Structure 1
Amino acid sequence: MASVGGKRFSLTGSTNNNKDEGVLSKISRSSIVTKGKEAACGATYVGKKLAKSTGKAAWLVATTVLVLGLPLMIVMDREQQLNELDLQQASLLGAPPASVVVPQK
C-alpha cells in the first residue's frame, strides 16, 4: 500500500473499506479481459490438439518409411551392385558392353 496525501490506496483492493475496489480487480473483471482469457484458452487448446495430431502423423510417416521404404532401398542398392558387377565382368572377358535397347513406337 502507498500513502498519497494522507490517504491510503491499493491496486488490488482497499483494506479500509470493502466497497472500494482496486484498479486491478476492476480491470480483471472487465469484458475485454475475460474475452481475452477465453481466446487464449481456446488458442492453447487448439495448439495442443495440433501438436498432438502432428506428432501422430510424424510417427505414422516415420514407421511407414522404416517398414516399407528401407527394405526397398536395400533391394534396389543390391540390384545396382549386381548390375555393376555384371558389367565389370563382361568388360574383363572382352564382351561388348550391353546396350540398352529402346523400343520404338
Structure 2
Amino acid sequence: MASSQSRRGGVSLPERPGGRDDSIITKISRSPIVARGKQAAGDAAFVANKLLRSTGKAAWIAGTTFLILVVPLIIEMDREQQLNELELQQASILGTPAAIGPPK
C-alpha cells in the first residue's frame, strides 16, 4: 500500500512475474535489428563525412587551378581581342583595307 500512496491517484499495476519490467519499447530498442540499423546509420554518416571532406578538397584544388591557369588566359584573350578591334578601327579611319584574320 505504500507504493499506491506515493503515486497520488494513479492506478498501480501488479508486479510482473520474474521481477523484470521490460516494456515493448525497451525490447524493440534492444533488438539486434535496431542495433544493426544504428550501426548502418553510423557507417553511412562516416562515409558521408569522408565524401564531403574529399569533395571539398577536390573543389579547392579545382578552384585554385582555375584561378592560376585559366583566368590569366581569359584576360590575355580579351586583351588580344581588344587589340584586334583597335587595329580594325585604325585601319578604317586611315582608309586602308582591314585584314580579317592572320596574314597568309
TM-score, normalisation: structure 2: 0.78
User: Equivalent residue for 2:84?
Assistant: 83
User: Equivalent residue for 1:25?
Assistant: 26
The percentage of counterpart residues that share the same residue type is 52
Aligned residues: 94
1:18-50 per-residue CA deviation (whole Å, 9 max, x = no partner) reads 523222221111011011101100110010011
In terms of fraction of residues, the more strand-rich structure is: 1
Q: Which has the higher contact order (CA 8 A, sep 6+)?
A: 1
In terms of fraction of residues, the more helix-rich structure is: 2
Q: Provide the C-alpha distance between the structure 2 equivalents of 1:88 and 1:8, rounded to a whole number of angstroms.
A: 102
- Aligned residue for 2:84, secondary structure, equals helix
1:58 matched to 2:59? The reply is yes
1:7 matched to 2:13? The reply is yes
User: Equivalent residue for 1:43?
Assistant: 44
- Aligned residue for 1:7, secondary structure, equals coil
Q: List gaps (5 residues or longer) in structure 1.
A: none
- Aligned residue for 1:25, secondary structure, equals helix
Q: Provide the C-alpha distance between the structure 2 equivalents of 1:78 and 1:7, rounded to a whole number of angstroms.
A: 88
Which amino acid is the alignment partner of residue 91 of structure 1?
S
The CA RMSD measured in Å over matched residues stands at 2.5
Change (3 A) 1:26 1:68: same
Change (3 A) 1:90 1:8: farther
Q: Provide the C-alpha distance between the structure 1 equivalents of 2:101 and 2:31, rounded to a whole number of angstroms.
A: 79
Which amino acid is the alignment partner of residue 67 of structure 1?
I
TM-score, normalisation: structure 1: 0.77
Q: List gaps (5 residues or longer) in structure 2.
A: 1-6
C-alpha displacement of 1:97: 1.8
